[in-house]
Amino acid sequence: MKRKQMLAFGLTIAMAASLLAGCGGEKKDKEKEEGGIKEFTAFFAVPGTEINDDNEIQEKIAEITGAKCKETWLTGQTAEEAVGTMIAGGEYPDFIDGGDAMEQLYEAGALVPLDDYIDDYPNIKEYYTEEEWDKLRKDDGHIYWIQQFGNIYGEEKATTHNDEAFWIQARVLEWAGYPEVKTMDQYFDLIEAYQEANPTMEDGTENIPYTILCDDWRYFCLENAPMFLDGYPNDGCVMVDTDKLQVMDYNTSPTAVKYFQKLNEEYKKGIIDPESFTQTYDEYIAKLSTGRVLGMIDQWWDFAYSVNDSLKQQGLNDQGCDYIPLPITIEEGMKNQWHNSGSVLNVASGLAITTDCDDVEGALQFINDLLGQEVHDLRYWGVEGVDYDVDENGEYYRTEEMRTQASDTAYKASHLCTYSYFPQYSGTSRDGINAMSPQNQPREFFDGLNDDVKKCFEAYGAETYVDMLGTSEAPGPWYPLYSFSGTLTTSTPGGMAWTKMGEVKHEYLPKVVMAEDFDQAWDDYMKVYEDCNPQAFLDEMQAELERRIEEHEKYE
């Protein structure tokens, strides 16, 4: 009996001990100093690529700046969940961009106010104008984060149109002799005519004349075209009448009716891909990658990076399968605003320093150093002689090999370090010659263009994608309003309406397009839509519009 009792007792102790074993978990020093190099930590509540610990450019930057930063990214959670647990646990990295959950971090008092420091760091100070810094102020008057993107240094070097457009394959334009395509009706007429003359590709695969991506949040490819068709820029959620300074709903405009009626007609004619509303994003990308799809609405970044590679690999650009944006409006003679020039300041999020950071000055110095030209070049161009070469005029260029290398996943992890969620510039380098990053370097851009696109640009007298559309200045100090609608939550009537409108549109717009009887379907849709109380949403947007204009007037 004794032995058995001993055994039982022993096991109990072992179990209890194993329970307690974790309790000694040592608290870790976050800012390690290794050989005089400060090590910061950062968390970005967006998916991203983690780089290797011994990344080469990261080491180089560390030599120059005396600091480096271990970045971690969102994995398998929403930004709100990740930030929510962080706040509950009360432990933060040194740097943070909470993405959609930025507001929560501010409310939790997790962020260090930066306004008292900014003046001491010339590169940071220079990053925004006084007015822009003030836009970043929260209601307590302090600045907590620095929006990293959309900041143009010097002259803008826009080559690609990164945003939304009606796209069409170069082969369609070539076949029709590069006509002027200005309205939605002309666009679909052209597609219909081409499809009738050429129902298949060279290898016999049937064309898909027009497809619509409608997967989850990506259904903007279906729903927000009326805004652009009426000649308004991408405020994302409403149109703003620049004379009356009044927000307008693009969902119920006469143009919306015309647009969806057109889609309905084209659907009945078999021009629109019947799988439009059920395809997933992956399937959509697969379709575009086969070169079968003649046209669609999308944002460039949503399809081009993966699709263009695939088309090129198969040699489909020789058949003219690359996509060209067209300046389309609902009526002829309207000004289109598919492309806007200039910086866009999204005040809803940015890079912040947390209260857990023991060395705020050091952290700001790091941001400041990252904005210096030498380090900025390292971040976006890489190492001279390895990732790019310089010609006798001081112009940077890359060989085909360098370009391929730069897109290799493993190479990116071991060599390149862009610190992509730290403040950065686009536009022109401080040397006045080069672009801040390779994508915007005109020579890089042209070297990378396929022949079908070059031919097309030539025919229209354009040099870049942007030239195809023309460009206009940001319409007013309120732009873009999506930086406000993105922060709405269901705790306000307007936010509630906004969420419900999204649900209704998701279900009813496909039904409207597929309906036998368009008018009936549209009426049904409008009835449900009105039940969402869109006015509450518009009222909140109007209030924000007025607030932003008022803020701006202080500077005039």
List the interface residues with other proteins, window 465-484 (CB under 8 A): none
CA dihedral 116, 117, 119, 124 (to 10 degrees): -130
83 is a contact residue toward other proteins (CB under 8 A): yes
Cβ nearer to other proteins, comparing 19 with 197: 19
Whole-angstrom distance, CA of residue 341 vs CA of residue 459: 24
- Taking the C-alpha atoms of residue 158 and residue 165, their distance in angstroms, rounded to an integer, is 16
3-state secondary structure of 535: helix
CA-based nearest residue to 235, from 163, 304, 187, 134: 163
Closest distance between other proteins and the C-beta of residue 310, in Å?
Answer: 5
Shortest distance, position 418 Cβ to other proteins, whole Å:
8
CB of 555 to other proteins, least distance (A): 28
Distance CA 332, CA 285 (A): 32
The residue range among 126-134, 169-177, 440-448, 502-510 that interacts with other proteins, by the rule CB under 8 A, is 502-510
**Closer of 313 and 520 to other proteins (Cβ):** 313
Hey, which residues between 442 and 461 contact other proteins (CB under 8 A)? none
Of positions 116, 120, 503, 530, contacts other proteins by CB under 8 A:
503
User: How near is the Cβ of 459 to other proteins at its closest, in Å?
Assistant: 28
Cα–Cα distance for residue pair 161/410, rounded to 1 Å: 28
- For the chain, state the CA radius of gyration: 27
Q: Tell me 29's DSSP state.
A: P
For residues 471 and 456, give the distance between their C-alpha atoms in angstroms, rounded to a whole number.
19
395 binds other proteins (CB under 8 A): no
| Phi, psi for residue 208 in degrees, rounded to 5 | -110, 110
Which of positions 15-34 make contact with other proteins (CB under 8 A)? 15-16, 18-19, 21-25, 28, 30
The 3 state secondary structure assigned to 39-101 is EEEEEECCCCCCCCCCCHHHHHHHHHHCEEEEEEECCCCCHHHHHHHHHHHCCCCCEEECHHH
What residue type is assigned to position 545 of the chain? L
**Residue closer to other proteins, measured from CB, 39 or 134:** 39
Nearer to other proteins, 8 or 386 (CB): 8
Which of 38, 40, 43, 272 is in the footprint of other proteins by CB under 8 A? 43
Nearest distance in Å: CB 166, other proteins: 19
Given 305, 341, 374, 451, the residue binding other proteins (CB under 8 A): 305
Binding residues with other proteins: total (CB under 8 A): 107
Sites for other proteins among residues 242-301 (CB under 8 A): 274-275, 277-283, 285-287, 289-290, 299-301
CA gap 59, 49 in Å, rounded: 17
Segment contacting other proteins (CB under 8 A): 51-59, 114-122, 251-259, 459-467?
A: 51-59
- Is 491 near other proteins (CB under 8 A)? yes
Distance in angstroms (rounded) separating the CA atoms of residues 180 and 468: 11
Comparing CB distances to other proteins, the nearer of 252 and 414 is: 414
Supply angle C-alpha 539, 137, 349, rounded to 5.
75
Question: Of 70 and 548, which has the nearer Cβ to other proteins?
Answer: 70
Query: Of the two residues 133 and 219, which places its CB atom closer to other proteins in the complex?
Result: 219
Q: Tell me which of 313, 341, 355, 399 binds other proteins, using CB under 8 A.
A: 313
Nearer to other proteins, 124 or 212 (CB): 212
Give the nearest distance from C-beta 327 to other proteins in angstroms: 20
Binding mask 406-445 for other proteins (x = CB under 8 A): -xxxx-xxx---x-xx-----------------x------
Nearer to other proteins, 75 or 393 (CB): 75
Task: Give CA–CA dist 375/61, Å, rounded.
Answer: 6
Residues 97-156 contacting other proteins, CB under 8 A:
100-101, 103-104, 107-109, 149
Q: Which is nearer to other proteins, 156 or 185 (CB)?
A: 156
Give bridge partners of residue 67 from the DSSP assignment. 38
- What are the residues whose beta carbons fall under 8 Å from the beta carbon of 74, sequence distance 6 or more? 44, 45, 46, 47, 48, 82, 99
Binds other proteins by CB under 8 A, chosen from 32, 269, 335, 511: 511
In the range 363-382, which residues lie near other proteins by CB under 8 A?
Answer: none
Of 34, 35, 36, 75, the residue at the interface with other proteins (CB under 8 A) is 75
Considering the complex, what minimum distance in angstroms separates the CB of residue 2 from other proteins? 10
**How far apart are the C-alpha atoms of 450 and 407, rounded to whole Å?**
18
Residue 362, class by beta-carbon neighbours within 10 Å (0-12 exposed, 13-18 middle, 19+ buried)? middle
